[in-house]
Amino acid sequence: LNVDGLLVYFPYDYIYPEQFLYMQELKRSLDAKGHCVLEMPSGTGKTVSLLSLIISYMQANPLHVTKMIYCSRTVPELEKVVEEMRGLIEYYTQETGEIPNFVGLALSSRKNMCVHPQVSQERDGKTVDGKCHQLTASFVRNRHKSNPNIPVCEFYEEFDSNGRNIPLAPGVYGLDDLREYGRKTGMCPYFLARHAINQAQVIVYSYYYLLDPKIAELVSKELPKQSVVVFDEAHNIDNVCVESMSVKITRKTIDRCNQNIEDLSKQIKRISLNIPMLERSHSFYSYAVYPILLNLTHIHFCVVFKSDYVVSESPPSFLKDCQAKVCIDRKPLRFCSERLSSLLRTLELADIKDYSSLSLVANFATLISTYTKGKSRSIMIEPIMNFSCLDATIAVKPIFDRFQTVVVTSGTLSPLDMYPKILDFQPVTMATFTMTLARPCICPMIVSKGNDQVAISSKFETREDIAVTRNYGNLLVEMVTIVPDGVVCFFTSYIYMETIVAAWYEQGIIDQIQKHKLLFIETQDAAETSLALLNYQKACENGRGAVLLSVARGKVSEGIDFDHHYGRAVIMFGVPYVYTQSRILKARLEYLRDQYQIRENDFLTFDAMRHAAQCVGRALRGKTDYGILIFADKRFSRADKRGKIPRWIQEHLTDNLCNLSIDEAVQVAKRFLRQMAQPFSQKDQLGLSLLTLEQLQSEETQKKIENKIQHV
Amino acid sequence: MAEEDDKGYRWETEYEKTWEELHEDESGSLQATVSDLLHRAKRKQFMERVTNVRLGMMRHLLIVIDASSAMSDQDLKPTRLVATLKLLEMFVDEYFDQNPISQIGFLMSRNKKADKITELGGNPRRHIKALQDLATQACQGEFSLQNSLELALSALRNMPSHASRELLVIMGSLTTCDPGDVRETIQAMAEANIRCSVIGLSAEVRVCKRLCQLTGGIYNVILDEPHYKDLLGQHMTPPPASNSTESSLIKMGFPHHSLGGEKGKGEKPSMCMCHLDSKSSQGFSTSGYFCPQCKSKYCELPIECKACGLTLVSAPHLARSYHHLFPPGSYKEFLSSDVVTDGPLCCYACQVEILDPHVYVCEKCEQNFCLDCDLFVHETLHSCPGCASFRNLQTIQAMSLS
């Protein structure tokens, strides 16, 4: 396959036109050594296009691009990427006749990778980390040498003695493969993978390894500048950035912290008494430790001191306040976190888990003193201290600066121009692709009024309106009677969902729904929700049909796919605006307005629409899939909202599908479902949305596919 | 919404933008592409039908009719159920016309239960009568796929192994209310070698698709009433026999119709076997078909003799089943611009000028046909008018058959 003069090995016989265009754009930005933002609908093979182009590019220009770092969100997604990569490498071997010198690697937390018989039994990530640390910390191992009874992790020992020198054989290693490999060779897969990062051409891991400065320091420090960084599913990247830099301290944390400090000082006393000959280190302790203790207690005091009113302020003023009240300078604060860890190390305390709250506070202190810009701290009446990062760029900026190409891609990135603004970078290419389809398998509709012509909306003023809830209920009842298998509904918030469901129950709407389908509700409890999901899928599977009521921004809306019969229709009840009264959000909006000239309203709409798109996009995960997407709010039909829906949905959202009443929507949906149920084979797709190599090269198709892309 | 509302106001329940549909047809968007696709698919289906394949000529077809509340929907006029029954009446007639030595039976599912309407049998009139009775009954409750399958399974399980076992579910409901795991039942159907097909009246349901995939049946969803008829028509022709049906020689009787009252013999009128149970005097006459083996009388064929178990058919019946085994060869598709003729390009069958870009040519007699005639020839006529009008070709055909 020839993309713009570059020979690309593409592991499938057929290629979608948009994949080809996608690769072209990607190539262009690689050439220019710049960043790019690309939007392509899910299910059209983003991953494989990315992998095959970048790997081919690496093979062709080994000097310009040496590494590819693929960041995704969840472990299953990482696994999917690894699978694609494996297929690609197999294809390489087939085509070229030799195994390419290539190492692909997935990295995840210890929890997912540990092979130690006892430690890997633990469920909680932090516990695993702590236990691992207990077995592998350098002082533990030193002690082990003198006293063999002290347990160490034999896997790590093996790795330490042999693993560092043996390079990994070329190939693709997923998490399971690494575990398997570790068991076979007796080496710790986690440390092996971390070590092998320097050697591997493709690294697949989670966002946090790159974005969170604390982890990135450890893991991703040595990555060369000539790397290509890919952020997949990047529609929420700014929130991830913000999260990784934010700290929340509650009263409980403070209490635990106090306890930790007492423990620590006891330890220090014990050690300094017991080992008097370590004179030098003793002096070090006293030098390093006491300021920290002082600091921490003072922070604690000042928090307690201030806890009786709500404050929201910026770091400089906070620091100044500190100084005035408890006489701490900025400088010692800054090294708080580092000192704590060095203290713990010298004290030979293995179980770092117990000190997590203390390190949290230390982190807070470090963060607050390091970054003076774009952060805000707020204290609620309940002594909760939120130290939140307002500017997504702080976390992501070093990455954009450090690596030559950063690819930000997802199925739902519209409107594209917002991302460069909030992440503060200059992309070379920005493009959005639509799906080429042999049949119109998306049916988006905007339902804006009920049969009684009352406008439906989740607007605050009409929330309590009985006519609106009734109309929402009618919409759902009508839909469940005509849509087979699974229907997923998204509400704007848990509270709203609760009030509406309660109202429906009184109006008898719930009963009517249950005549046709089983009803499942997402709750804030993760275990309960996953049980509901399981049963939901079962009900879809055996033909009973099911409705899932869930919440935008919830767990369901982010990570779970409702492909094929699991989601034949998605209904979005209302526009999922964030809760605008929250202090953090207010501060962030203000900051964005001041720093980047983004109006509050723009950002809110942008945020709401990307979540709406994300929700409805759950139902459509491929070209053979089909689904009805219903936006049930009057406000969706306004130009500012409609324009922010991703292009691949907008394309099918013609004027006569906006502003429908419930009846009209039902008629449209009925006809759509019948048409989609007609037999559909791969042959019908060929030439239209599937291209062979010859078709791709013909002039005619080149022209035809041109308009599938839209530069921004 | 409550059921009363559905029936009450026409302007509330049905919102049909007829003008829009017309518009779409002309502009060649949605509707046109789909109908075009369908047309092509239909032809493809004929192309795919391979000759010289073993067909399950003796069919045992059970039809499950959904009579749940979803069938009272008015998107087929007047209601789904009535429209279905009307089409099924036609289907029964046609079915026996095409498959004279086969049997059919009807089941119904409503209120989460499945009931038998008619037993498997070869008497079209009985079935049609039962169907007509059903039209007056109300649709209520929910559909149960599993119960229907279980009932069908028990009815078909004991059928002879040389006959094909088929089940056709006509399903208006989108949900099924099952007492247990329907997947086990589907597995049982597959093991019992019952070919299950489903015609959906509203949308694609996952579990039906699975059922059809696992048992080798076909799953379709109707677009509108004509399409519904087409889909039913698919089930008219016998499916290829699966490998596990054993082949066996079947003993058949060919009774002659005797008008009775032959002079000199002084025959008395007698009761025929098929109406023995009924109290009416119907079937009490001197005429009828007499089983060549045991001389019991029947008033219609084909039937299985109740006394001696012999399959009774008439010779024309068998002959009519014949065309399934030797269908006329499919026509080749050409672009009409490629076909060289003097004068306008006319269809040999209907003599109308062909305006369609495609023209269909019989490979034997090399005559041109239009798409409609092509479908007609292969669907109903079962013999090529071109070949039939040339004597020398007929002999060739006869030779090739023998």
Chain segment B311-330, per-residue pLDDT in tens:
777 777 777 666 666 777 77
The pLDDT assigned to B341 comes to 67
Q: What are phi and psi of B119, to 5 degrees?
A: -75, 165
pLDDT, tens only, A71-105 = 887 777 888 888 888 888 888 888 777 767 777 88
Q: Which of A99-108, A201-210, B150-159 has the lowest mean pLDDT?
A: A99-108
Chain A positions touching chain B (beta carbons under 8 Å):
439-440, 451, 474, 477-478, 481-485, 512, 515-517, 540-545, 564-565, 568, 656, 663-664, 666-667, 670, 673-679, 684
Fold of B327-401: Herpes Virus-1 (3.30.40)
Residues of chain B with CATH 3.30.40.10: 327-401
* Cα dihedral sign, B273-B275-B278-B284: negative
Site of tokens 């997504």: A392
pLDDT, tens only, A422-431 = 777 788 888 8
Question: Which of A112-121, A360-369, A671-680, B260-269 has the highest mean predicted lDDT (pLDDT)?
Answer: A671-680
Provide the β-strand partners of residue B115.
B108
Do A484 and B204 form a contact (C-beta atoms < 8 A)?
A: yes
CB atoms within 10 A of CB B310: 20
pLDDT band, residue A476 (cuts 50/70/90): very high
Structure tokens at A420: 């460069």
Q: Kindly tell me the burial class for residue B66, based on how many C-beta atoms sit within 10 Å of its own C-beta (0-12, 13-18, 19 or more).
A: buried
- Of B30, B33, B178, nearest to A542 by CB-CB distance is B178
Chain A partners within 8 Å of B38 (Cβ): 678
d(CA A52, CA A36): 17
3-state helix, strand, coil in chain A (%, to 5): 55, 15, 30
Please tell me what DSSP assigns to residue A492: S
Q: Hey, are the CB atoms on A482 and B202 less than 8 Å from each other?
A: yes
pLDDT band, residue B365 (cuts 50/70/90): confident
* Cα dihedral sign, A488-A491-A492-A497: negative
pLDDT band, residue B18 (cuts 50/70/90): very low
Q: Hey, are the CB atoms on B175 and A664 less than 8 Å from each other?
A: no
Q: What is the CA radius of gyration of chain A?
A: 28
Do A92 and A254 form a contact (C-beta atoms < 8 A)?
A: no
pLDDT, tens only, A361-419 = 666 666 655 655 545 554 444 455 566 666 677 777 777 888 888 888 887 777 777 88
From the candidates B6, B15, B186, which should be mutated to test the interface with A, based on the most A CB atoms within 10 A? B15
Q: Hey, are the CB atoms on A516 and B204 less than 8 Å from each other?
A: no
Task: For residue A471, give the 3-state DSSP assignment.
Answer: helix
Strands B103-110 and B59-66: parallel
| Confidence check: pLDDT of B256 > 50 | yes
Which H/E stretch holds residue A36? strand A35-39
Q: Hey, are the CB atoms on A679 and B200 less than 8 Å from each other?
A: no
Nearest to B233 by CA among B122, B78, B369, B99: B99
Q: Hey, are the CB atoms on B202 and A673 less than 8 Å from each other?
A: yes
Do A17 and A40 form a contact (C-beta atoms < 8 A)?
A: no
Provide the β-strand partners of residue B197.
B168
d(CA B112, CA B196): 20
Nearest to A64 by CA among A107, A106, A104, A29: A29
Please give the distance of CA B114 from its chain centroid, rounded to a whole number: 22
Q: Hey, are the CB atoms on B206 and A670 less than 8 Å from each other?
A: no
The pLDDT assigned to B280 comes to 62
| Confidence check: pLDDT of A267 > 70 | no
CB atoms within 10 A of CB A160: 17
Q: Hey, are the CB atoms on A544 and B177 less than 8 Å from each other?
A: yes
The pLDDT assigned to B134 comes to 86
Strands A427-433 and A35-39: parallel
CB atoms within 10 A of CB A60: 13
- Which H, E and C letters describe chain B, residue by residue? CCHHHHHHCHHHHCCCCHHHHHHHHHHCCHHHHHHHHHHHHHHHHHHHCCCCCCECCCEEEEEEEECCHHHHCCCCCCCHHHHHHHHHHHHHHHHHHHCCCCEEEEEEEECCEEEEEEEEECCHHHHHHHHHHHHCCCCCCCCCHHHHHHHHHHHHCCCCCCCEEEEEEEECCCCCCCCCCHHHHHHHHHHCCCEEEEEECCCCCHHHHHHHHHHCCCEEECCCHHHHHHHHHHCCCCCECCCCCCCCCCCEECCCEECCCCCCCCCCCEECHHHCCCCCCCCEECCEEECCCCCCEECCCCEECCCCCCEECCHHHHHHHHHHHCCCCCCEEEECCCCCCCCCCECCCCCCECCCCEEEECCCCCCEECHHHHHHHHHHHCCCHHHHCCHHHHHHHHHHHC
Question: What's the length of chain A?
Answer: 712
| Confidence check: pLDDT of A132 > 80 | no
From the candidates A509, A513, A678, A689, which should be mutated to test the interface with B, based on the most B CB atoms within 10 A? A678
Please indicate if any CB of chain A lies within 8 Å of the CB of B148: no
Site of tokens 């239009």: B370
d(CA A697, CA A684): 20
- Of B1, B205, B208, nearest to A477 by CB-CB distance is B1
Q: Specify the pTM.
A: 0.79
Q: Which residues have a Cβ under 8 Å from the Cβ of A506 and sit 6 or more positions away?
A: none
pLDDT, tens only, A226-262 = 788 888 887 877 777 777 766 666 666 666 666 766 6
Please indicate if any CB of chain A lies within 8 Å of the CB of B10: no
Output the CA–CA distances (angstroms, integers) from residue B284 to B202, B259, B266, B297, in the order listed.
46, 13, 16, 10
Site of tokens 């998605």: A570
DSSP character string of A146-199 = H-TTS---HHHHHIIIIITTSPPPSEEE-HHHHHHHHHHHT--HHHHHHHHTTT
Nearest to B127 by CA among B108, B148, B110, B105: B105
Find the closest chain B residue to A476 by CA distance.
B1
| Confidence check: pLDDT of A282 > 70 | no
**Domains (ranges, CATH) in chain A?**
1-73+207-239+391-438+688-712 (3.40.50), 247-387 (no CATH), 442-679 (3.40.50.300)
Nearest to A688 by CA among A234, A160, A17: A17
Q: Which of A150-164, A333-347, A678-692, B177-191 has the lowest mean pLDDT?
A: A333-347
Q: What are phi and psi of A569, to 5 degrees?
A: -145, 140
Which H/E stretch holds residue A134? helix A125-136
Structure tokens at B176: 């099924």
Output the CA–CA distances (angstroms, integers) from residue B276 to A520, A527, B295, B306, B313, in the order listed.
56, 66, 15, 11, 20
CB atoms within 10 A of CB B341: 11
Structure tokens at A577: 């605006």
d(CA A16, CA A20): 7
The pLDDT assigned to A227 comes to 81
Q: Hey, are the CB atoms on A451 and B207 less than 8 Å from each other?
A: no
pLDDT band, residue A6 (cuts 50/70/90): confident
Provide the β-strand partners of residue B368.
B361
| Confidence check: pLDDT of A692 > 50 | yes
Strands B103-110 and A486-491: unpaired
d(CA A43, CA A627): 13
CB atoms within 10 A of CB B113: 15
The pLDDT assigned to B11 comes to 47
Residues of chain B with CATH 3.40.50.410: 59-233
Report domain B59-233's class.
alpha beta
Site of tokens 């599937």: A690
Query: What mean pLDDT do residues A185-207 have?
Result: 80
Q: What are phi and psi of A524, to 5 degrees?
A: -75, -15
pLDDT, tens only, A584-605 = 677 777 777 877 778 888 888 8
Task: For residue A340, give the 3-state DSSP assignment.
Answer: helix
Do A24 and A425 form a contact (C-beta atoms < 8 A)?
A: no
This model of the complex carries an ipTM of 0.77
Do B345 and B287 form a contact (C-beta atoms < 8 A)?
A: no
The pLDDT assigned to B63 comes to 92
Structure tokens at A499: 């009030």
Nearest to A628 by CA among A596, A603, A660, A598: A660
Do B286 and B268 form a contact (C-beta atoms < 8 A)?
A: yes
pLDDT band, residue B22 (cuts 50/70/90): very low
Chain B partners within 8 Å of A485 (Cβ): 174, 205-206
Nearest to B239 by CA among B302, B197, B185, B191: B197
CA distance B203 to chain A (A): 5
> Which tops the pLDDT comparison, B166 or A74?
B166
d(CA A193, CA A220): 12
d(CA B99, CA A95): 54
Question: Which of A484-498, A671-685, B38-52 has the highest mean predicted lDDT (pLDDT)?
Answer: A484-498
Helix ranges (DSSP H) in A380-465: 393-402, 418-423
Neighbour-count burial for A527-536, b at 16+ CB within 10 Å, e otherwise: eebeebbeeb
Q: Hey, are the CB atoms on B174 and A482 less than 8 Å from each other?
A: yes
Q: To the nearest whole number, what is the mean pLDDT of chain A? A: 75
Chain B partners within 8 Å of A439 (Cβ): 33
